[in-house]
Amino acid sequence: MAGLGHDQGVSPEAVLAYGRGVLAAQPFSALIGAELHALAPGQAELQLPLSAQLKQQNGFAHGGIVSYMADNALTFAGGAALRVPVVTSEFKINYVRPALGQRLVARARAVHTGKSQSVCTCEVFVVNDGVEKLCALAQGTIATLPEPKK
């Protein structure tokens, strides 16, 4: 996460506030109403209220929205592990059930982090009447961005 450096003295509140600023700067994330609920080194949780505009014709969350949740949670977890600006270099997703409910919750964690990349996993849950059910599993590689040329 750019701006956090490798200083171990950064408070958890400051890390979460920084992450929320990054999320707010993403126009698509703001458009759909994504919320960053947790961020720590190598871990992230995103949530998204499921409005009618985010559902497909059968009433469950569109696969692209479920995929977005996994991709962004993976990137936040990898970015928090690497502590530098990052992008997703690849990811895959397995949909295990339709996301029928009021909210999506994506929880990601870094499984292995090296100097320039972090391999992360993510579980995406749909929440219906307070009960979470797994709807997708994802894995991705998060890579550091090169230093900007001066």
Residue whose pair of structure tokens reads 């692209």 in the numeric block: 64
pLDDT in tens, 7-38: 567 889 999 999 999 999 999 999 999 999 99
Task: Locate the domains of the chain by residue range.
Answer: 12-144
pLDDT at position 88 over 80: yes
Q: What is the pLDDT of residues 91-108, one digit of tens each?
A: 999 999 999 999 999 999
pLDDT tens digits, residue range 36-86? 999 999 999 999 999 999 999 999 999 999 999 999 999 999 999 999 899
Domain 12-144 carries which CATH code? 3.10.129.10
The answer to whether 106 and 80 are in contact (CB under 8 A) is no
Burial environment of residue 11 by CB neighbours within 10 A (0 to 12, 13 to 18, 19 or more): exposed
Angle 118-125-82 (CA atoms, 0-180°, nearest 5)?
15
Residue pair 99/63 in contact (Cβ under 8 Å)? The answer is: no
